Amino acid sequence: MSVLIDWVSETNTLGGTLLVAMPGVGDVGKLAIDAVNTELDAEPIARLIHPSLPPLAKLDENGLLKPPHILLSRLEIDGREIFTLTGDAQPMTPEGQSEMAQSVLELFEEGEVVVLAGMSAEAERKDVFCITSSSEYRIELEKNGVDVRRDEPKAGVIGMAALITALGPVKNVRTSCNIATTIGNSADPVAAQLLLETIRRWWSLPLPVPIDATQRLANKLREMHPGKPDDLISELSDSPNSIYM
């Protein structure tokens, strides 16, 4: 098995900074990247296709059936290129995840890959921190004011977030995994916004912070409970944990 790269744009020169997020705990990273892509009208560059992705093909905005894939997109802000990578799912096998992670790193050799993820924690903890796989890069990040941890997450990291970050030095790519705490049992737009704000500051990225937590909460509730969003929003607004849906 191998990764098939379907270039959907004439722009196929890559480099610089790549932001990556896959579905995970609280969908924290994915919410952040989806919001940035939507707000800035990201240009699709390539579809990364692998046989171990869930075999669910969906219709696109033109009513055409698209294969299961992870989408690489391009943003241009103030003359600076930033790339994003996200999808509705990641490969379902360890081999598939490893092959996909290595392909991503090879596309951004000598560049910088910033992974966004969530970590389950108690409700009162609202924290963002970074981990990396290179001591030299860790020193560089710390000099730039990044909160790089050495002692958590104690259980480690799993999936493509883990492999992209850990394999960075092997592929000559500077990689980090940036983690926001969340209750994690459902989508957490507030943690996503905090993560995006922190990434923007740490990397001096000219990104907007477009996540409107209230609106995204309403949208998610409409998906989960069609026909009764207003009642549910009212109930959650009265709850001390209403930011966690």
Average pLDDT, the chain: 84
- Residue 47 pLDDT > 90, yes or no? yes
Do 167 and 220 lie in one domain? The reply is: no
Do 183 and 225 lie in one domain? The reply is: no
- What is the maximum alpha-carbon separation in the chain? 53
Do 19 and 50 lie in one domain? The reply is: yes
How many folded domains does the chain comprise?
2
Do 78 and 160 lie in one domain? The reply is: yes
22-to-34, 123, 147, 159 alpha-carbon distances in Å: 10, 22, 22, 9
Query: Residue 166 sits in a domain of what CATH number?
Result: 3.40.50.10900
Structure tokens at 219: 């949208």
> Mind listing the pLDDT tens digit for each residue in 171-210?
999 999 999 998 866 778 888 889 999 999 999 988 776 6
Do 83 and 50 lie in one domain? The reply is: yes
> Mind listing the pLDDT tens digit for each residue in 210-236?
656 435 543 654 465 454 333 333 333
The alpha carbon of residue 112 and the mean position of all alpha carbons in its chain are separated, in whole angstroms, by: 14
| Distance from C-alpha of 19 to C-alpha of 12, rounded to nearest angstrom | 17
User: pTM of the prediction?
Assistant: 0.84
H or E element that contains 5: strand 4-7
DSSP letter for 25, please: G
As a residue count, the chain comes to: 245
Query: Over pLDDT 90: what percentage of the chain?
Result: 58
Do 150 and 119 lie in one domain? The reply is: yes
Task: Give the domain range for residue 228.
Answer: 212-245
Residue 51, Cβ density class (10 Å: 0-12 exposed, 13-18 middle, ≥19 buried): middle
Do 219 and 166 lie in one domain? The reply is: no
> Mind listing the pLDDT tens digit for each residue in 95-146?
999 999 999 999 999 899 999 999 988 888 889 999 999 999 999 999 999 9
Q: Give the pLDDT confidence score for residue 228 in this predicted structure.
A: 38
Do 44 and 153 lie in one domain? The reply is: yes
Contact status, residue 243 vs residue 190, Cβ threshold 8 Å: yes
Cα distance from N-terminal residue to C-terminal residue, the chain = 38
Do 8 and 49 lie in one domain? The reply is: yes
Residue 66, Cβ density class (10 Å: 0-12 exposed, 13-18 middle, ≥19 buried): middle
Do 67 and 153 lie in one domain? The reply is: yes
Do 189 and 221 lie in one domain? The reply is: no
Do 195 and 225 lie in one domain? The reply is: no
Report, in this order, helix, strand and coil percent for the chain, each rounded to 5: 35, 25, 40
| Distance from C-alpha of 162 to C-alpha of 51, rounded to nearest angstrom | 20
